[in-house]
A = this chain, B = another copy of it.
Amino acid sequence: MNKNEKIFLSNIAETLRIHSIRMTTAAGSGHPTSCLSAAEIMSVLFFRQMKYDPRRLDSPDNDGFILSKGHAAPILYAAYAEAGAIPVSELDGLRTFGSVLEGHPVPGLNGIRAATGSLGQGLSIAAGMAFAVKQDGGNQRVYTVLGDGEMAEGNVWEAMNFVSHYGLDNMTAVLDMNRLGQSEATMFEWNSKEYADRARAFGWETFDVDGHSIEELAYGFERAAASGKPALVIAKTVKGKNGGEAENADGYHGKAFSKEEAEGLIEKLRSRIEPVDFVPQNHISAKRDKPEPRNVSIETSYTKEEMVPTRTAFGKALAKIGGQDPDMIVLDGDVKGSSRTKYFFQEYPDRGRETYIAEQNMAGMLIGLQAYGKRAAAASFAAFLTRAHDQFRMGAYSRARFLIAGSHTGVSIGQDGPSQMGLEDIAMMRSIFGSLVLSPSDAVSAEKLTALGLNYKGIAYIRTIRGETPVIYDNSEEFTAGGSRVLKSSANDHATFVATGYTVSEALKAAERLEKEKNISVRVIDCYSLKPMDSETLRKAAEETKIIITVEDHYPEGGLGEAVASQVSGYGKVFSLSVTRMPHSGSPEKLIREQGIDAESILRKFHELLGDI
């Protein structure tokens, strides 16, 4: 490296420090000391190592970058400002209402492809991006900056395994080993061997560098890129570097400097900057826009009354749709025989990827895949998707689009018992910001809702069933986000049964028996879209029939019953049948009977409320 470049990069590092201190002090909050340790790392990455176009940060032609230690957001914003991607004046908005420069990174600023700030997720997002690059035959590299505290997160090691197992040699992770966590020193402080041994055991190459030496960083990044393996550059740094008393000191995490402190520090930092003539050589001219997945469609050919598990229909739909979009990738958490993603894997072995029993990495990768323009989907048992709740939450803040399928929902799975039963998935996925939550009851709706979910510009969830349910829909039926289907109605309905998924056929059975045996009509609604929900149809039913009985194979909290009660409040009275007893093993029939969500129980509830009429 020539002298001028070294001075230039050192100047940039100090300038990033100045911005970071000024921004956080102006905001009155933030994590300046977590920025100060990373100044040389960011300088060398953004002004020497990474190939990217500062005028076109969202292009997939750029090398990828994920700031996994999201609390160092100010220094990332500062780097983009110094690269000319955003005006320096915008930096003053940090953390204020309406600014895209939020406390932790979120898309809004081009170049920020995913939200970070919940630690330990960045490497999985980067793995998704690196995998997308490989699929496209590109040679972009994907960079991640990690904090040392977050190395305790299991998600990091799930990603480490995936990346080395599939040979994603286009990844460089940089560990900002600044010794101090939030509340005390990290587990391994400055013992870089602890990190190196772990990463090497997980199949990565590692490089130890002084994280405040421009030359060591530059050389380390070069060797990492040339190593032919995924590489971890372990940069020994000082938290609060050049931050006066905050240097390497406890008690400064997440605290802005006072105005006076900031002024003093900034003056000193300015004095370290010496004029130099140098133009960085790493900026490129990006060509491509990020591709947007186009809408896919599906046609079905089932026979009424045919018995088909919705998980099977989902899997077949994936395989059908796979042919329409060469950019569609499906991940699976070692349950592809059960989730039925196996049909896609069989058809498109190069686009189905086994992520093994590591749901957090699977979910994080979805964010990365779609950030590079892929249509992404993943499946596991609904119960095990709870493992990735945080990643889905962060996916929403990442403005990500992908489809998740949860199979084996409800006590209706039977003998395997509660550990395998998805009984909180509706609550979990409804609580994800902007999500679409779908719950098909038969094969026709399952296939069509799979297509709907794959077209949704946000996080879509489809809830499938292990056992067989009868086909109830014509192949011509259409399904919409926020829709429902009135399966049975008359001008003289005495109540409405609202069901979803498995319980739809039970509700229909109950209504048909009432009709046949007692000549009592009841309305039946298949509430296949749990979020958004068809409040118009539900309110009309509540007004006209006064009484609604909801029935779901899910816990009451956050499920169908509560959602409907909230939608129709003031229009009619809602009684909820759901899973309220400790679930356990047994035959599906006995279990749905015990929980009171079968046809018999619906009838019992109806008579309890309305007598014999």
A563 within 8 Å of B by Cβ? yes
- Chain B residues with CB below 8 A from A116, complex form: 419
Across-interface contacts of A223 in B (CB, < 8 A): none
* Neighbouring B residues of A420 by C-beta, 8 Å: 103-104, 117-118
The residue in chain B whose Cβ has the minimal distance to the Cβ of A425 is B431
Q: How far is the CA of A449 from the CA of B504 in the complex (A)?
A: 41
Bound: A269/B154 CA distance, A: 41
Selected from B360, B383, B555, the residue in CB contact (under 8 A) with A433 is B555
A401 to chain B, nearest CB (A): 15
User: Which B residue's beta carbon lies closest to that of A381?
Assistant: B118
**Within the assembled complex, what's the spacing in Å between the Cα atoms of A343 and B563?**
40
Listed stretches A2-10, A157-165, A600-608; interface member: A157-165
**A287 CB–B CB distance under 8 Å:** no
> Is there a chain B Cβ closer than 8 Å to A43's Cβ?
no
Is A430's beta carbon under 8 Å from chain B?
Answer: yes
Q: Is B106's CB under 8 angstroms from A418's CB?
A: yes
CB neighbours (8 Å) of A565 from chain B are: 562, 565-566, 569
Is the CB of A610 closer than 8 A to any CB of chain B? Answer: no
B415 lies within 8 A of A29 (CB): yes
Across the interface, do B102 and A417 meet the contact criterion of CB distance under 8 Å?
Answer: yes
Tell which of B202, B358, B531 touches A153, judged by Cβ atoms closer than 8 Å.
B358
Q: Report whether B357 and A119 are in contact in the complex, using a CB–CB cutoff of 8 Å.
A: yes
Select A201's contact among B197, B253, B394, beta carbons within 8 Å: B197
Chain B residues, CB < 8 A from A183: 332, 334-338, 342, 354
Do B566 and A27 touch (CB < 8 A)?
Answer: no
Tell me the chain A residues, 497-553 only, with Cβ under 8 Å from chain B: 531
B419 with A335: CB separation less than 8 A? no
Q: Is the pair B558, A569 in contact by a Cβ cutoff of 8 Å?
A: no
Complex CA gap A133/B50 in Å reads 51
> Please, which residues of chain B bring their CB within 8 A of the CB of A198?
198, 201-202
CA distance A570 to B609 in the complex (A): 13
Which residues on B sit within 8 Å (CB–CB) of A152?
158, 161, 334, 356-358
Hey, which chain B residues are within 8 Å of A254, CB to CB? 338
Are B569 and A104 in contact, CB atoms less than 8 angstroms apart?
no
Q: Contact partner of A102 among B153, B585, B594, CB < 8 A? A: B585
In the assembled complex, the Cα of A570 lies from the Cα of B428 at a distance in Å of: 27
Task: Choose, from A93-101, A233-241, A469-477, A485-493, the stretch at the interface.
Answer: A93-101
Instruction: For A557, give its contact among B104, B157, B186, B558 (CB under 8 Å).
Output: B558
Q: How far is the CA of A345 from the CA of B225 in the complex (A)?
A: 44
Mask for A326-365, Cβ within 8 A of B = 1, else 0? 0000001011111000100000000000101110110000
A427: which of B427, B576, B584 is its contact (CB, 8 Å)?
B427
Does A70 interact with chain B (Cβ within 8 Å)? yes
* CA distance in complex: A419, B390 (Å): 9
A424 at the interface (CB under 8 A from B): yes
Closest CB in chain B relative to A560 CB, distance in Å: 11
Complex contacts, A336 vs chain B, CB 8 Å? 183-184
Indicate if the CB atoms of B570 and A572 lie closer than 8 Å: yes
Decide: B95 and A415 in contact? CB cutoff 8 A: yes
- Given A183-B337, A386-B389, A586-B98, A154 and B361 contact (CB-CB distance below 8 Å): yes
Q: Restricting to A555-613, which residues have a CB under 8 Å from any CB of B?
A: 555-558, 561-563, 565-566, 568-570, 572-576, 582-587, 590-591, 594
Beta-carbon nearest neighbor of A254 in chain B = B338
Q: Are A360 and B202 in contact (CB under 8 A)?
A: no
Query: Does A397 lie at the interface of the complex (its beta carbon under 8 Å from any beta carbon of B)?
Result: yes
A181 surroundings in chain B (CB, below 8 A): 334, 356-357
Q: Cα distance A149–B165 when bound, in Å?
A: 14
Q: Which residues of B contact A312 (CB under 8 A)?
A: none
A37 contacts the other chain (CB 8 A): no
Interface 0/1 of A102-142, CB less than 8 Å to B: 11101000000001111110000000000000000000000
B95 and A585 contact, CB distance less than 8 A: yes
Contact pattern, A 174-186, Cβ under 8 Å of B = 1, otherwise 0: 0000000111101
Q: Which residues of chain B have C-beta atoms less than 8 A from A294's C-beta?
A: none
Task: List residues of A (1-57) whose CB comes within 8 Å of B's CBs.
Answer: 27-30
Q: Does A393 have its Cβ within 8 Å of any Cβ on chain B?
A: yes
What residues of chain B lie closer than 8 Å to A583, measured between beta carbons? 433
Which of B149, B153, B563, B570 makes the CB contact (< 8 A) with A574?
B570
Quick one: given A384-B118, A566-B561, A585-B103, are A153 and B357 in contact (CB under 8 Å)? yes
Counting chain B CB atoms within 10 Å of each CB, the highest count among A106, A201, A332 belongs to A201
29 interchain pairs, CB-CB under 8 A: A95-B416, A97-B590, A97-B594, A99-B585, A103-B417, A104-B417, A149-B334, A161-B187, A183-B342, A184-B336, A186-B356, A197-B201, A198-B202, A253-B337, A394-B419, A397-B418, A418-B433, A423-B433, A424-B432, A427-B428, A430-B557, A431-B557, A433-B555, A433-B582, A556-B566, A558-B558, A562-B566, A566-B574, A570-B574
Closest 5 CB pairs of A and B: A154-B154, A558-B558, A117-B419, A570-B573, A97-B586
